[in-house]
Structure 1
């Protein structure tokens, strides 16, 4: 099993060593490690050359995390892709346990794991709404992002069928891709905490001042227009879109954004009268 590890990074020299060392410490060695430096200005390029000369490093202008991941996927030579965010960390047995799990479930093309959450240096419990699932999980992926990129191993063929990360999205790019993946593929879930997911820091990508829900709305609108969904999936996605549009409309009204509120309310009405797939 040839696994290519993709680590995108931007101005995270202070956390990158932890991420890289956690890959090098794996009991199952990956085929290759590719770090895509997305235009860092903190000396990441020089630091990598000095400290990890044997690791493949690609440097590009700052185009965002989706562009960096896609670049790594594009140049990778392995048949499987393992993603790792540069502020996260793998447990030493992560790749070993997942590769063995995939070997037992040979028809699978995607595997993710449970995780340990660290917020501002303190371990915290996940909330019930973040519960992980395996199998046909499309309906569970409609409300929030259920899969951490750092926990996933993905067969490279999957990207050829559903596409890669949407580079127009500054956040929720993982939510967007997982909708497309789970609409087509069953998902393996290994209920072992095999990654440490760090949060609470100022450069966390999911921090957006304008709110995250509008990006999920964009992704739901997109997948509903792609012709990718079954009749049941279309109905579930449409219902979730209407639900999220209603929540978003309440926020607009509260903030006196009446012009955008009017267009959002029209969207809601349009989707309410739109027939389901036949």
Structure 2
């Protein structure tokens, strides 16, 4: 892995992760990939191909069908012998994730939704980190963003800088919101077990709840290069009524997480609740709910005026300003933005990831 653009901070060296192919061998990390699926038969074959085509790691693949109505079993049939297929009554994503973890046998577990893709060497890069850095409980990285047709339209960044995130730093960073692209995550089984199961009360946002619990106990590691593709389509976009659902679930997450953290971390709870108000303001703005946008933002700034010094607050204000624009103007801006984003991606990864970008667009 290359160095961070800013380099390590003085007096702190980034742990070295050796390059090269990971063959397994004595003491190697056994990898399982859990794929929860609900009515995503259209996208599942591409997801499975991207997982089964990984080089350097022979992973166990567990597909959990959460009571789909679009005949996922027929889609799975050509992969018989290469994947484990479970069908459960429809109980929601957290239940499907827990069923997949329980059915898997790996020391490390990667998660990917059925409409997302893994990029080449994704499992190898993450397994290598867990093999060489035993204090790391979870590894993740950036993800390319695809539209419904599979074109690259953006890059979803992860941590502010790649490398090791000590537990205290990772926990404070994650309090700002779930910044980890879900298909890039690989976690140690024992870290998942210590954090407890995925909770239905935390949905939507059960992943944020789990990653916070892990970060309160373990170090995290962020890779520098993209390792997955996150697909945006109408079925994946948060519905307007989810503002209330996110409000409810995220408040549960903060209450539950801070009930179990070390005493020295509990003083961060008021700050975390201000961050949540800011997150809800941005979500309300994207949903066109202007009054809720103002209510949440005023609440956050009223409790912590210093949030105005953070770029994320200005980003939230920009989202709110865009929500005031007429719909035709917004659509025109989106049509201009998409090709510019793809062009920036090609320049950014021209040296070592151009094939990755092209593969994601196919």
TM (norm. structure 1) is 0.81
Cross-structure match for 1:156: 189
Cross-structure match for 1:135: 165
* Greater helix content: 2
Among 95, 107, 120, the alignment partner of 1:67 is 95
Residue 236 (str. 1) matches residue 268 (str. 2):
yes
Cross-structure match for 2:251: 217
* Structure 1 runs not aligned, ≥5 long: 270-278
Residue 203 (str. 1) matches residue 232 (str. 2):
no
Which structure has the greater CA radius of gyration?
2
Question: Contact 1:28–1:96 at 8 Å: present in 2 too?
Answer: yes
1:115-150 CA-to-partner distances (Å, cap 9, x unmatched) read 111134442334779746641311111122111221
Query: Structure 1 residues 126, 253: CA separation in 2 closer, same or farther (over 3 Å shift)?
Result: closer
Residue 123 (str. 1) matches residue 152 (str. 2):
yes
Instruction: Please show how residues 4-153 of structure 1 align to structure 2 within 5 Å.
Output: 4-49=32-77, 51-54=78-81, 55-121=83-149, 122-126=151-155, 131=160, 134-136=164-166, 137-153=170-186
**Aligned residues: CA RMSD:** 2.9
* Structure 2 runs not aligned, ≥5 long: 1-28, 304-362
Question: Contact 2:139–2:220 at 8 Å: present in 1 too?
Answer: yes
Query: Structure 1 residues 206, 177: CA separation in 2 closer, same or farther (over 3 Å shift)?
Result: farther
CA distance in 1, matches of 2:85, 2:38: 13
Higher relative contact order (CA 8 A, sep 6+): 1
1:48-73 CA-to-partner distances (Å, cap 9, x unmatched) read 12x21111100001111111110010
TM (norm. structure 2) is 0.64
Question: Contact 2:122–2:227 at 8 Å: present in 1 too?
Answer: yes
Cross-structure match for 1:172: 205
Question: Contact 2:177–2:276 at 8 Å: present in 1 too?
Answer: no
Residue 3 (str. 1) matches residue 31 (str. 2):
yes
Query: Structure 1 residues 23, 150: CA separation in 2 closer, same or farther (over 3 Å shift)?
Result: same
Query: Structure 1 residues 47, 191: CA separation in 2 closer, same or farther (over 3 Å shift)?
Result: same
* Greater strand content: 1
Cross-structure match for 1:254: 291
